[in-house]
Structure 1
């Protein structure tokens, strides 16, 4: 009878991504192969790198270790890097935490023990389905238990395709930590001087450039899994036919985050096709309502039944993101470039903040520096960044790069960093716009917000 793992397909994808797109082969399952430490060692010896998974309620505790089980003798004191994960289901999303430990694993008294700094920091007792973790490990993995805990199952997998060192895994672990810092920063963000409760970011770009995919990607990061709320496609004409103002919630049932992404019909080089340039001023000023049906031949007018005649500051666009496929920048036609310049002229006349968002970056790891704090202008992107800078006069610091979740099934922390970094820069640009507004536009708002003395 075939022995199958308790590991779900989606959880396996998470772990494979964290370890560098490796493959996992089940070697040992305690309920099927015996509950003695000798049974585990016999099946897992001379198998190279292994990953041990302990299933505790809805949590999976994962320990990845270099070396063979046959080396775990009674007097073993050799320290090895081990990478630990916790995979937890919370509010309909999967959360992964990581921890790097330097431990000396050994088999002692019929249990698998890990020592660090002359102290046992974990142990696994197969004979009574018990795991022990120190408070330090539990805290770093954000588990709600420590000490001795009963588990449901113990499994060991052979890790195939690993590069014999933890460099990639360490980088992904650091990426996860930086990603979480960005998430926390954006969750805590408040627009400048509380002039508005939510920043409105307008996405403008050619058909198929990735405007709707960027919204989907932002939502995916905050929901913890890939989502596809906005319809996307690869048609030669725009899939988006309505003006959409999307809010993003922090998780499935979480509160709305302090920004909105406004999606438009794609620009087309042919007149009478795609987004009508005459709609741009109305969108920027906040006159266009959500779900307005675009008409490529004529713009919205004040006579339209849902036209917003007296938009407030909260209705206006606070930042414009010009969205371009990084692979198509060098091939923009003169007609398309002329349309972009018309849009940019309107944006400049309104004094609105703006950035460029280059999508479809093929290797996100290559774009980010090792510390994840800055984007490195690699040879594959330098010319495109320079071209956008020359075409639209956008400062290089405001030319951002992302790899949208268009065909991916699972999130990747490096992709997430680029998406969140781009979003953070848009919010910062919007703050600059709000701070630069003339006093006559903001003074009344500030007086209302201030308490009466």
Structure 2
């Protein structure tokens, strides 16, 4: 007899995991094989611990219910604060998670098919559902299942954890006040290897809502000593940042600038005519785009346009590129977005610019990290997401840095600061690699542009 296999596509599987967290799915029951009956369901799904129902219809929706409780046919109403209904739309572009109505039970554990009130499965032992929004769960029929109540398939999976924490962290971090001060001092005293370059220029690149602007605000707050919000950050579906911005960071209120410029851009979007254009990105790399240039995705900047800087030096060029990705959405990166990253990586490599990757929102992605940020390098889930990003984007794992930005806090936190400062330290180290890789002719060109006597000196040699 052939093995029973999941009907979930790879993409649907990733989207479902984005709702469930750091788990794996074990297929228990498949109605087209085992029968569209309550008896078949209970024979295979009772006393299995946390499970997720995955129902399919002809409209292309994948939807169902998760519970952390056992099915036991107890004929009781079961309360489960972790239970939820969900849907993946027909296009596979959006997930919906519907929490239960407060203080109401999650499901009725009877001898019939799974009964969540708002959704009842295997009605009368048929491939059908009953849908009654507002009964224990509120939703709209159109967005949950497209009002198609006939099932083409019905599956149930046991939800298994990967394990909580690694016995040893996969990176060692000193979570001390002394370490924080060491990092701050090292960053403030940094000097590029090329004497005429005074600040490392680092560009942040990533999808909309990944946390690029929030990263700058977090670093600025850290060195300022209190929360700041200079860069506009948000969670809109389209990029909040519409200009190319270069930000300096000051050590304390009224203090001197640290030797780092963080450059912010529009977010990347899947559509070719939306988000940051790759040709504009190349112009940023080469230093041709002025601060506060207003992006136009449909019209990349031309050499004769007002925002184009013709005369550039090594000071104007980007010395390190930092990709920023939301850890919660690693599994949801579409093939189009991965292709866009690959195209950017190719251009960046051609220009010899070092690259690293920041994984933001690690606390939102893993409850164990939310409880204690020091668990970031012991979390099995965070390590897995770092490896997934490394493989899918072609970036070595040693270049991937998990961190948390400041979003809702009113006060600074030492553990958050240490992860942020460690990321900045790596940016400066990689900028050094860029400076060391410059040809002598590039450095002489820099001197020529800054010293009127330099051309004569060069010509005389």
* TM-score, scaled relative to structure 1: 0.58
1:323 maps to 324
Structure-2 separation of matches of 1:272 and 1:314: 31
**Preserved contact between residue 364 and residue 414 of structure 1 (Cα < 8 Å):** no
Which residue does the alignment assign to 1:94?
A: none
Mapped contact 1:364–1:403 kept (Cα < 8 A): no
Q: Measure the CA separation in 1 of the matches of 2:174 and 2:212.
A: 29
Superposed displacement of residue 306, structure 1: 2.8
| Distance change >3 Å, CA 364–CA 313, structure 1 → 2 | farther
Alignment of 1:112-261 (within 5 A): 175-261=176-262
After superposition, what is the alpha-carbon deviation per residue over 1:100-159, rounded to whole angstroms, capped at 9, x for unaligned? xxxxxxxxxxxxxxxxxxxxxxxxxxxxxxxxxxxxxxxxxxxxxxxxxxxxxxxxxxxx
Kindly state the Cα deviation for residue 260 of structure 1 after the two structures are TM-superposed.
0.3
Paired positions, count: 276
Contact 2:245–2:291 under 8 Å retained in 1 = yes
| Secondary structure of residue in 2 paired with 1:315 | coil
Deviation at 1:443, TM superposition (A): 4.1
* Contact 2:280-2:301 at 8 Å conserved across structures: yes
**Residue 413 of structure 1 corresponds to which residue in structure 2?**
414
Instruction: Tell me the C-alpha RMSD between the 2 structures.
Output: 2.4
Tell me if 1:285 matches 2:286: yes
Instruction: Give the structure 1 partner of residue 384 of structure 2.
Output: 383
> Could you report, residue by residue, the CA deviation over 1:178-198 in whole angstroms, capped at 9, with x for unpaired residues?
111111111111112324101
Residues 175 and 418 in structure 2, CA contact (< 8 A), matched pair in contact too = no
Cα distance in 2 for residues equivalent to 1:387 and 1:213: 23
| Distance change in 2, residues 1:413/1:365 (3 Å) | farther
Instruction: State the partner residue of 1:23.
Output: none
Distance 1:255 1:184 in 2: 13
Unaligned runs of 5+ in 1: 1-171, 370-374
CA positional deviation for 1:391? 2.0
**Does 1:361 find its partner at 2:362?**
yes
**What are the superposed Cα offsets for residues 278-306 of structure 1, whole Å, 9 maximum, x if unpaired?**
21110100000000000011211111113
The alpha-carbon distance between structure 1 residues 443 and 225, as it changes in their structure 2 partners (threshold 3 A), is same
Give 2:340's aligned residue.
Answer: 339
**Offset at residue 392 of structure 1 (A):** 2.4
Q: Is the 8 A contact 2:338 2:393 kept in 1?
A: no
Measured in 2, the distance between the counterparts of 1:306 and 1:436 equals 29
Q: What is the SS of the residue equivalent to 1:322?
A: strand
- How far the C-alpha of 1:271 sits from its partner, in A, is 2.1
Q: Aligned partners of 1:383 and 1:319: how far apart in 2?
A: 25
Q: Cα 1:433–1:271, aligned 2, differ >3 Å: closer, same or farther?
A: same
The answer to whether structure 1 residue 427 and structure 2 residue 428 are counterparts is yes
Length-normalised TM-score, structure 2 = 0.57
Name the CA shift for 1:302/1:446 in 2 (closer, same or farther; >3 Å).
Answer: closer
Give me the whole-angstrom Cα distance separating, in 2, the residues matched to 1:329 and 1:388: 7
> Does the CA-based 8 Å contact 2:206-2:325 persist in structure 1?
yes
Deviation at 1:251, TM superposition (A): 1.0
Residue in structure 2 matched with residue 273 of structure 1 by the alignment: 274
Answer 1 or 2: which has greater strand percent. 1
CA–CA separation in structure 2 for the residues paired with 1:293 and 1:281 = 16
Cα deviation digits, residues 224-243 of structure 1 (max 9, x gap): 11111111111100000000
